[in-house]
Amino acid sequence: MKFTLSWLHDHLETTATVGEICATLNRIGLEVEHVEQLGAQLEPFRTARIIEAVRHPNADRLQVCKVDTGPETGEVQVVCGAPNARAGIAVIFAPPGTYVPGLDTTIKAGKIRGEVSGGMLCSLRELGLGQETGGIAELPEDTLPGESYADFAGLDDTVIEIAITPNRGDALSVYGIARDLAAAGLGNLRPFLADTVEGTFESPLRWSISYPEACPWVLGRMVRDVKNGPAPQWLRDRLESIGLRSVSALVDITNLFTFDLGRPLHVFDARRIKGDTLTICRGANETIRALDGKDYIVTAEDCVIADGAGVQSVAGIMGGAETQVTDDTTDVFVECALFDPVHIALTGRRLGISSDARYRFERGVDQAMPVAALEAATRLIMDLCGGEASNVVSAGAQPHWQRNAKLRFERIAALGGLEIGQDEAVEILGHLGFEAKSRDEVSVTVAVPSWRNDVAQPVVLDPASTLSAERCMTLEKSVARIEPECDLIEEILRIRGLDQIAAVPLPPVSVVPGAAMTPARARVALARRVLAARGLMETIGFSFVAHDEAEKFGPAPESLRLLNPIAADLDQMRPTPLPGLLAAARRNTARGWPDLALFEIGAGFAEDGQTTIAAGLRAGRSPRRPGEAGETMTFLTAKADATDVLLSLGISPDALTTATEAPAWYHPGRSGVLRLGPKTVLAAFGELHPSLLRDAGFDAPVVAFEVFPDLIGDPKRRRKAAPDLSALQPVRRDFAFLAERDTPVEAVLRAARGAERTLITSVSLFDIYEDSKLPDGQKSIGIEVTLQPHDTSLTDAGIEEVSEKIVAAVFRATNATLRS
């Protein structure tokens, strides 16, 4: 938001300097971003008078002028090529060393065609102040030489630019800024008074609203027999000082009110409007050429203003070229309306239109100002362009914006950290427009002004909320009571000065800071390092997949379907990261990279919540080594990946058991699960199901695994004991058992391990043998058992006793017998 110091003085009586104004703006939350002195670069230019002008002896189009530049520098000779340079006129003189902004050059003293030239006589275009090219600027006859041209022309103004937060729509006007500065004690606010303009005839145009959700209230009136043309100099200077281009008197008037009062207006050329009614309605996929020269298609979600011929304006954002005012305009219809901020923001975003009107409407404008603003705009149009005004016509009704807010005085210090007296708090609110309605010793109730749309807005929870009706009502009442009070406290603190609030550090929770990572996050980080060390490359995929793809990897309930997916084939929350990994493998294989090892650690979603899954996939063959061919991936490779992750996360290998209970998307005969205890499945592994691979376009096996780190409990904090190292030698014995072919090897190992826990330290498989020499339907399972004595060396009798216990335990568990 830009404004000039002189413009601010129209609304604020103050003797404060620019520095004091900027400091106050920063103190009350209107951050100053830039300050520019308009006349700073024009300071070297001086008024002067041509005493004599003669033709240059060596150039027909040049004249040698004797110029009076004032008492300090006296007479100076200047060579000038302007056709209007003549004796007696007052001019603008640039001495040597002056930077000329319109030419982007610096004046130097020298000779031109043999004649000395000690400066330059300038046009307004060369000063960057106009477009005239008929010669040098001619100043009034009574101009005295030697005066600063910036002071002479009133160009010593200052432009201040401030940053506006989205909630402060009221500060998007010079009047609103003056109101805040006056409340901060920097002067007195001049009241805004609009003289009523009595209509002399009935307006031939009427309003109609068929889209009240987007526009609840609109006013308008015709002004006929106007004469449009260039705006007066004061109006052009005011707009150009803040970076706006002057268009014409009628257009400049609407721009003036946009910045002066924060009240956007629009003027239609009444003779170009078809029919006798302007309707505020929804768009109907029509095309409108806007004032920026671009074509836009408006939909049923967009609010437009239409006449009998179609859309003539994107309501509240930009008018149409068809009904814009020109120099030939004689009758205008002035529109002043209230538009819903959300509808304005959505339409502006949809169409990609940025305008000063949109910027204000989507932040909220003064809901009580349309009548006064229309009267003031009518008066200015008639003053500058003539004409006579009709009666005011309207549609809809002024919204009920009146509301109260309550402040408990004790809360100012409790929430704001600053002790402020009750009288001072009420006075500050009064200066900001919050009129006190009632007050007692502990609180005050104020009426919220019409321009503060950000304070005490009603809170309504979503009707589709899963909360009970009683709970919704309780929350609405609680928020409606607390939020306005916080808004009022913020206003009081802001005007008093946020810089006066002492900085207070947050209380420390503990002298010793806690762990940076939770155990769950630490497990994920460790699993990531382990899988990367095993040669797998990490990928990051979407948390949603196609619905039909999700169904191949488990339940895909409708409750986990996306109502507004980013793509049609990404409409289901994934049950596992495997679909994304398989898709990535398919894309790489299609591009000539069939040997893959990928993993992802991310969320899997089910109706009862989400869980973290470390999933991996291998395809093709392992990397070749010198003298060795790459190995084909098998389900045992996937088991090794999953097992390594679990062991790194603190799971004891003795606690893991393997079972053939893998999910349906794995190969039924080449897969399994790793369990902790009888029920907890910590991982699944195996080849993916052949039908799944066939649908995905793979003609070779692909192995995968899923590890569920969330099912691993947090480690207990206990002091680690020193390892019990024995000084005696261990004893190793091999056993070969004959068992049925469907006997799980895991059952044999577990039974042998539990036969004598005080001596047996490890049991491992070293052989599985199947042959026709063995009895039908049986296999040989060879295991190695390590016995570690602690007190005394084992004797042959002791070893034999333990061996008998091992054979007996295996027989009881699996019916397997010792092979002879």
What's the DSSP call for residue 134?
S
Of 193, 11, 365, the residue nearest 3 (C-alpha) = 11
Rounded distance between C-alpha atoms, residue 6 and residue 235, angstroms:
12
Helix, strand, or coil (residue 383): helix
Token digits of residue 91: 């001019």
**Nearest in space to 820 (alpha carbons), one of 745, 755, 737, 739:** 737
3-state secondary structure of 438: strand
440 class by beta-carbon count within 10 Å (0-12 exposed, 13-18 middle, 19+ buried):
exposed
- Contact assessment for residue 372 and residue 194, using Cβ atoms and an 8 Å cutoff: yes
With CA atoms as reference, report the closest residue to 434 among 418, 422, 452. 452
Are 312 and 323 in contact by the 8 Å Cβ rule? The answer is yes
| Separation of alpha carbons 217 and 561, rounded Å | 41
Helix (H) or strand (E) holding 731: strand 731-740
The 3-class SS string of 664-705 reads: CCEEEEEEEEEEECCCEEEEEEEEECHHHHHHHCCCCCEEEE
Nearest-angstrom CA–CA distance, 695 and 689: 10
Which residue numbers belong to the known binding site for Mg(2+)? 454, 487, 490-491
Binding residues: 454, 487, 490-491
Residue environment code for 683-693, b if the CB has 16+ CB neighbours within 10 A, otherwise e: bbbbbbbeebb
Q: How far is Cα 697 from Cα 405, in angstroms, rounded to an integer? A: 66
Tell how strand 332-338 and strand 388-389 pair up.
unpaired
- Report CA-CA distances (Å) from 268 to 319, 334, 375, 738, 775: 8, 6, 17, 101, 103
End-to-end CA distance of the chain: 97
Cα 104 to chain centroid, rounded: 40
Which of these, 36, 75, 77, 38, lies nearest to 54 by C-alpha position? 77
Q: Which residues pair with 132 in a beta bridge?
A: none
Of 335, 329, 361, which Cα lies nearest the Cα of 348?
Answer: 361
Grouping H, G, I as helix, E, B as strand and the rest as coil, residue 246 is: coil
Q: How far apart are CA 276 and CA 326, in angstroms?
A: 21
- CA dist 571 and 556 (Å) reads 11
Residue 157 dihedral angles phi and psi, to the nearest 5°: -75, 165
The first and second tokens of residue 571, run together, are: 């409409």
The angle subtended at Cα 492 by Cα 491 and Cα 498, nearest 5°, is: 85
Q: Measure CA 364 to chain center.
A: 20
670, 690 in Cβ contact below 8 A? no
Count of alpha carbons within 13 Å of 108, Cβ hemisphere only?
4
Take residue 124 and report the two structure tokens written for it: 């307004």
C-alpha 447/C-alpha 449 separation (Å) is: 6
For residue 721, the 8-state DSSP code is P
Nearest to 229 by CA among 259, 213, 249: 249
Locate tokens 């692909």: which residue?
A: 702
- For 272, phi and psi rounded to 5 degrees? -90, -5
d(C-alpha 327, C-alpha 251), whole Å: 11
Collapse the DSSP code of 734 into the 3-class scheme (helix H, G, I; strand E, B; otherwise coil) and give the result: strand
